[in-house]
Amino acid sequence: MIAIPIHDTILLPDISFYFKKDSFTDWENERLKVGEDMIFAFLLDEEEEPDDEKASDYMKLVYPVGVRARLDSVDNEGTYRIRTKNRVDILSLTVQPDGNVEAEFTDRPDIVDISPDEITERFERVRDDYLEFVKMFQWGLFARGLILQWKSLNEMICSMSPYFSMTWEEKVAIVLEDRVSERLKLIEQAAYEFMEMSRVNSEAANQQQQENENIYRENALKKQIEILQNELDEMHPENISDVRQFQKKIEESGMNDTARKEAEKVLNRMKQEGQNGHEYGMLYDYLDFVTSLSWKKPGAAEIDLEHAEEVLDADHYGMKKVKERILQQLAVMALKKEQSGSILLFVGAPGTGKTSIGQSIAKALDREYVRISLGGIRDEAEIRGHRRTYIGAMPGRIMEGVKRSGVSNPVVVLDEVDKLAKDYGGDPASALLEVLDPEQNFSFTDHYMNVPYDLSDVFFVCTANQVDTIPEPLLNRMEVIEFPGYTELEKESIAKKHLIPRAYKAMGIKKSQLKITDAAIRKVIQEYTMESGVRGLKKRIDGICRHAAVHLVKGETKLSVKPDNLKDYLDGHGMHRDKVEKKTFPGIVTGLAWTAAGGEILYIETTKVSGSGQVIITGQLGDVMKESVSIALSLVKERFPDETGDLSKYDLHIHVPEGAVPKDGPSAGITLTTALSSLFTGRKVDPTLAMTGEVSLRGKVMPIGGLPEKLMAAVRAGVKTVFIPKDNVEDLEDVAEEVKKALTITAVSDVNEVLRLAGVTE
């Protein structure tokens, strides 16, 4: 009998089903006639029919069970109506020369262990459950018609088996089952599993669809709210919400990608936190800070050197070398079209114009000006900022200053970098390295911001009174520009051109109402100030104008300040200034010293009294000067062995007046040597002779610093002749001509030369 292999379709006895004619092969269609029986064999796999070489293995490709069926009819459209009879055991399958497959079989009877009524009852229950089940689907009406056509559970499983989530082995197991009750049980199990899985899938699909609809709805509502909010913001910009305000600021800020991601992250946290949240204020402050910064890199602006020179000359008198160096820096920037060059460090006494010239640079470049005072800072966080994990965290002073400027390329003056301190809070000077180093500051990261910011466009200017306390690594990143003190003539010019007009404007005084004579100005400079800068002079002039304001308000119309009535306009008496003595004694020599406030004369006084050979040093001398005393004493003993004699019978007392003022520095060596030599030889030294320079054990005069300030102090004190180290001759270029004309400056290289010129030796 012809055998037809099938796969994935369950066929059971006593059912009718339909096949399209084109579902069979040509030779199968030739054999299939109405009334013809056939055997449906169930393939193990969906393989093609075996070729002749594999025909002998055909039995290995099918299950040993099949279903016998008969072709009942064929309609005009080529549809076969087939009716199954019973199950059979397939004994063998043979491929014929014409390609047909013939089967040998025996009938496989069912074991009927259930009554017909129970079979019907079980079928009706399943059918009713299916009818109820399909109501939940849109295709339920169509499926209902098919379900009502079922006449048994066999028909149900045969028509539904392609849709069941069953393996082929599970489907064939139903056919292999001989007992009817067990077979029905398997069919029911498959039917209910299909219904339950369909319900679960449907519920999951509905839930997913509902979630998607909610998402789509939420997005649509958000978009609509955003559109409405934008319209409201345009109509009432004063009522714009914080979140919306920061969204707009972030979009328009021009932040780099890292900063934008961090800002958006904080903004999302701010949304979730809500205005009543504990962290809302902190998040608001952070976003307000980063969005207030200027992130956009400005284009290269044209630099007009002539204009810059005019600004510097108009704002500051003198300082030729300082202005030349600043113009060089601006010229390099003009050529390169970008911020470049060294970080400038202005070093000089207070009141010499270090800070104000930074303001002039900003004016010359047409940039914003920011001054940041670093004096006394001990905490590194003042530079780098606090991490936001701390309560009360704030950005560092550098980023706060940049934010205050409102641009990314301000001129920033870092004032008093020599007064940075170091303690348990870190080392602020080390933190400044990253700020000032051009190789690093293009990505400076403030701890508070936690994102990099480009400081390479900032024009940094630093100021200091001295460089001794600045750490070497920081000092190496800066170019030191010395600010010499002003001469009396320069102070007089500054007072007339700058200080007096500003004081008039500040006090509301007209030029016709008050006249300060040149002689009065000179007297103020000589008797009421003792500094290298002009800060004290400014205070005195302001005091004169305030005093004059009282007289003007009382009705006086014209006032004139002259030397003879100057006391009436100034509080107190003139300041005491060291002047060279007219008379002198052996062992006393005039020296020159440099302090943070400028140059001063320094008397070295020596004497010997009966005692036990002690060397007494008074006047709060530092370690360097104490070492100079020891060297000077050794040089004197060597050169004057007869005069010094046995020092064990004497106590040697060395004193520097103004004992309350600490004194130190490597510039008193030759002064100490000359004073001791004068003491032991008994020869006086001219009081109008002053000297400065360190000395070595070989007697060589070593170079010193602060020469311009020392020479100006000599002029103020009435000194006529000054000895300076030979190595410092080049520094005379920095000394004002009027100072050099007022002094006889002699360069010395050896202590013997000093003693000879001072008249201590022949």
Q: Are 249 and 256 in contact (CB under 8 A)?
A: no
Residue 6's φ and ψ, nearest 5 degrees, are -135, 165
Q: Are 305 and 330 in contact (CB under 8 A)?
A: yes
Q: Rounded to whole angstroms, how far apart are CA atoms 708 and 732?
A: 7
Q: Are 761 and 681 in contact (CB under 8 A)?
A: yes
Residue 408's φ and ψ, nearest 5 degrees, are -100, 0
Q: Which structure tokens are listed for 728?
A: 């410092």
Query: Over the range 35-69, which residues count as b (16 or more CB within 10 Å of their CB) and which as e?
Result: eeebbbbbbeeeeeebeeeeeeebeebbbebbbbb
Q: Rounded to whole angstroms, how far apart are CA atoms 727 and 749?
A: 8
Query: Which listed residue (171, 354, 523, 710) is catalytic?
Result: 710
The residue type found at 367 is R
Q: Which residues partner with 652 through β-bridges?
A: 608, 615
Tell me whether residue 296 is one of the annotated catalytic residues: no
Q: Are 698 and 623 in contact (CB under 8 A)?
A: no
Sheet strands (E) in 454-574:
459-464, 478-483, 514-516, 559-561
Query: Which listed residue (532, 667, 677, 678) is catalytic?
Result: 667
Taking CA atoms, 742 is separated from 252, 722, 736, in Å, by: 64, 11, 10
Q: Which structure tokens are listed for 307?
A: 């204009």
Q: Are 594 and 467 in contact (CB under 8 A)?
A: no
Q: Rounded to whole angstroms, how far apart are CA atoms 84 and 108?
A: 13
Output the CA torsion sign for 420, 424, 430, 436: negative
Instruction: Quote the distance between the C-alpha of residue 729 and its chain's center.
Output: 48
Q: Are 458 and 414 in contact (CB under 8 A)?
A: no
Helix (H) or strand (E) holding 173: helix 168-176
Burial class (CB in 10 A: 0-12, 13-18, 19+), 248: middle
Tell me whether residue 710 is one of the annotated catalytic residues: yes
Residues with a catalytic annotation lie at 667, 710
